[in-house]
Structure 1
Amino acid sequence: MSTITSTRHATASTTTLGQRLVAAIGASILGVCLVYFAGFSHIEAVHNAAHDTRHSAAFPCH
């Protein structure tokens, strides 16, 4: 009879609350910048690419 042993390695998360907050705030700022860039862009390709999404989210673009 053979015995199969399984080794589990527990990985401890060493992220602090401060690091998580910085990441969340950074992601939020990036997201807001992208939304406003697409929303107020005068570049026609950007406008057309995001046009339907903006209207479905009630974001004015005209």
Structure 2
Amino acid sequence: MTTASKSASRALDRELLAVVFAIVAGGFLVFGAGFANSAALHDAGHDSRHSMAFPCH
């Protein structure tokens, strides 16, 4: 394997890791705040979604 292909492979690995992290973090924010039992946490997430024009109901 050449140096260029190793470098490209590492870049792809980093991009994939970033995509997976973004999906997990985004899912936690949307569903964690949306289904939280704590009224304060739910209200904070709910207000944040409205401020970004995210339809939640």
Higher RCO (Cα < 8 Å, 6 or more apart)? 1
TM-score, with normalisation over the residues of structure 2? Answer: 0.59
Larger gyration radius, structure 1 or structure 2: 1
Where structure 2 has 5 or more consecutive residues not aligned to the other structure, the ranges are 1-6
- CA-based RMSD of the aligned residues comes to 1.9
Where structure 1 has 5 or more consecutive residues not aligned to the other structure, the ranges are 1-13
Please name the residue that 1:6 is paired with: none
Please name the residue that 2:49 is paired with: 54
Kindly, what percent of the aligned residue pairs are identical? 36
Q: Higher helix share goes to which structure? A: 2
Aligned length: 47
